[in-house]
Chain A
Amino acid sequence: GVLERSREQLLRQTCEAVVLGVLHPRTAISLVLQVLSDAGSLLSCCLNAACMALLDAGLPLAALFCGVTCALQPDGTILLDPTARQEQEARAILTFAIASSERKVLMTTTKGSCSVEEMQQCLAAAQRAADTIFQFYRDSVRRRYSK
């Protein structure tokens, strides 16, 4: 449907920005994502899965990226990585793809409206959370190759 297409476009353009395509001319890189279960924060889970798959495939990447979802609750508190229930109750949901180089923003998508300050706060929180996720990448890769 249209929602899947728009998600595909987001993922594709995010991956295109980091994958060094010039090193593989006349090649098609096909990324297939199958949702096994959705318990909230689906898009950032897809982003993380995509990045780790690209890492596992050994493709040359300019930077790593990770996906972080922030939910803005009705009382103004920021919740990272919300569950499906928390997403429904939230007044705005912002998803960011943060690159590993200088924690720059690769992709943003918002659902619901928020003020500019709230968005900046969510972005700062997402950038801090990105550190945890990149550490997880490092641990996973280490585990995979240490056997």
Chain B
Amino acid sequence: RTVEPLEYYRRFLKENCRPDGRELGEFRTTTVNIGKCLWSITTADGSALVKLGNTTVICGVKAELAAPAADSANKGYIVPNVELPSLCAERFRSGPPGEEAQAASQFIADVIENSQMIVKEDLCIANGKLAWVLYCDIICLDYDGNLLDASVFALLAALKNVQLPSVTINEETGLSEVNLKQKNPLIIRKHPVATSFAVFDDTLLIVDPTAEEEDLATGTVTIVTDEEGRLCSVHKPGGSPLTGAKLQDCITRAITRHKEVKKLIDKVIKSITPK
């Protein structure tokens, strides 16, 4: 396995399975913890922990107040930030964020924008004066492949958990008054779910790659779908060329995966909502 990793993998792929026992189209066990329970962040306004096999990603959402930008006076801000600290894998060193972390942050920002899961106008409190800024910090605790899927899932779960206190602007003083007792959940319009594939030898497609498989793969594809079956993002950063038919195959699998993940999220949300 260490001397000839590619040959070792090829032997398994010929039998249509993978070293960890999964089939080519099988996902790893997904677990999610939302909200102020044992695993998540208590100081954040919304948090979620997602485990996709060994890949562990935690997302914390903090809401702050700010003045909206001059050219979009009725829009708030959502600022995602993906961090890959050196504790998650030995190839990440501490220091300024590397290319992978920055590309992942850009990807998450694009997903939020493309899927319109949070409409920025919903974050505005007073036109031109006050709006919410949501800082979404996604931190990888254990990197075993498939970072993008886990991050998108964690972000979605955390945002569903966010409770924003109601803010009113006092007419006389012009200052904002935050009412911590009265909280409203965030309006999430769409639920995007990402599905990642790794391409081997230009032909074989495997779903949910581990870190080892990602290193050996010749390319990766990530498809983000929402509940209506619309594509929010098709992300294929280079790698071996794929025909349109193969891409279509990925998309159909992504749509199936979306339904499973949505069911899981709904189940978890229902279990933590106080009756």
Q: A residues engaging B (CB < 8 A)?
A: 2-3, 5-6, 8-17, 63, 92, 94, 97, 99, 101-102, 104-116, 119-120, 123-124, 127
Q: Residues of B contacting A10 with CB < 8 Å? A: 237-238
B236 touches A6 (CB 8 A): no
Whether A6 contacts B238 in the complex (CB less than 8 A), given A105-B243, A114-B231, A123-B247, comes out as no
**What chain A residues lie within 8 Å of B102 (beta carbons)?**
2, 5-6
* Beta-carbon nearest neighbor of A1 in chain B: B102
B234 touches A119 (CB 8 A): yes
Please judge, given known A-B contacts A6-B102, A113-B226, whether A120 and B238 are in contact too, CB under 8 Å: no
Q: Which residue on A lies nearest to B98, using beta carbons?
A: A5
Whether A17 and B99, one on each chain, are in contact in the complex, defined by CB atoms closer than 8 angstroms, is: no
B-chain residues with CB within 8 Å of residue A16 when the two chains form the complex? 238
Report whether A104 and B110 are in contact in the complex, using a CB–CB cutoff of 8 Å: no
In the docked arrangement, what's the CA distance between A101 and B243, Å? Answer: 10
Subset of 29 A-B contacts with CB under 8 Å: A2-B106, A2-B109, A8-B99, A9-B99, A9-B103, A10-B238, A11-B238, A14-B238, A17-B239, A63-B241, A97-B238, A101-B241, A104-B241, A105-B236, A105-B243, A105-B244, A106-B238, A109-B236, A110-B114, A110-B232, A111-B113, A113-B114, A113-B226, A113-B231, A114-B231, A115-B229, A116-B229, A116-B251, A119-B251
Residues of A within 8 A of B230 (CB): 113-116
Across the A-B interface, the 7 shortest Cβ-Cβ residue pairs: A13-B238, A104-B241, A14-B238, A6-B106, A5-B102, A108-B236, A6-B103
A98 closest partner in B (C-beta):
B241
Residues of A within 8 A of B218 (CB): 17
Judging by beta carbons under 8 Å apart, are B238 and A15 in contact?
Answer: yes
**CB-nearest residue of chain A relative to B233?**
A110
